[in-house]
Structure 1
Amino acid sequence: QIGQGTYSSVYKARDLETGKTVALKKVRFVNVDPESVRFMAREIHILRRLDHPNVVKLEALVTSKMSCSLYLVFEYMEHDLAGLVAIPGIKFTEPQVKCYMQQLLHGLEHCHIKGVLHRDIKGANLLIDNNGILKIADFGLATIYNPDNKQHLTCRVVTLWYRPPELLLGATEYGVAVDLWSTGCILAELLSGRPIMPGRTEVPFVTFVAFVTLIRCTC
């Protein structure tokens, strides 16, 4: 087992026919509320419409009647960006940062062109293989959007450290900018070696953003 969620577990596994290493996301449907089933169906729908070198690929779906489980089969990636940043003594060079950011932006561009907002860009959701290839993963909070058709969306998305000002202030109409703000936070984190806005509540974040905005307006 390499990961754990509220309703799912992630395992490193091997395809016995091909010998290929894969990641298995096991979702159990025993005592799962209908809302969670709807979210899972939406995530699968989104994953199946995406196909890009910098977006993790859903390779197959497998069901098990015996265990009342659904298995999502993904390509296996050795690392995630948050884990690499947390390693003592690790400091990314500017060329490395540029390489990762370029891949992240390419992957996001594909998502946005396909009408998908990720809504949870953070280091733990950016997977990296041993060749330095970065892929966006975990579309559990993602949603379909149409920039030409305004729709009300929840503001309770994006991990707090990477949440943009409009969501902190309760906006329900937003677009690709929420992913781009999070991407900017990732850039600053890679250059500084730590999250730039750590905290446990929303109040310090709103205060910090207001302070920075005030400084910019008076410069």
Structure 2
Amino acid sequence: MKAANVLITKNGVLKLADFGLARAFSAKNGHSNRYTNRVVTLWYRPPELLLGDRNYGPPVDLWGAGCIMAEMWTRQSPIMQGNTEQQQLILISQLCGSITTEVWPGVENLDLFNKMDLPKGQKRKVKDRLKPYLKDPYACDLLDKLLILDPSKRCDSDSALNHDFFWTDPMPCDLSKMLAQHTQSMFEYLAPPRRPGHMRHPHHQVPGGPTKPSSSMAESGYQDRVF
């Protein structure tokens, strides 16, 4: 999950893209999965993957959803932009509090827990950081529940959809009417029109035009900051 893979049609239909590393998973009790933890763009990667967990499930995407929602509400770039997995864990700790066995029982069993330099004494600051951007306390509470360190305590999709944020005024509006005001795709500026018979390399940019960081730049930490 990342903002670039969340698409909305002109009729207000939301679609998720890029399932290149998607795999079927089992939720059976006692069944241990052995997936790769090298998934999810670094800035949206949850702490369990950064610490080497290979037996994960839907909570990894709920973390990504929280990051995306915070990014949209703050109207800024990704809220945690580390340039390495170590740096990403530091930014997560600075926002969500120190990763300890007290807040996350069993985290010490993850492969990289004792190999990473995890900040100590960090307090959880999700709500404090978001208050200047979010006037709705329900919105703040929802994000706080989506960005919980322990995946077993993280808000699941059913609980998120039933959160008070979605059931209090103002209620969700009809996106199709709002989007009908746009006459072209919001992504067209990334794909300049080609001259007839001319094949443009997909990474070429119009001189002087806007640029977009490549996925490799994002992974390597095109920017390094936390909102």
TM-score, length-scaled by structure 1: 0.42
Higher relative contact order (CA 8 A, sep 6+): 2
TM-score, length-scaled by structure 2: 0.41
Name the larger-Rg structure. Answer: 2
Q: Which has the higher strand share?
A: 1
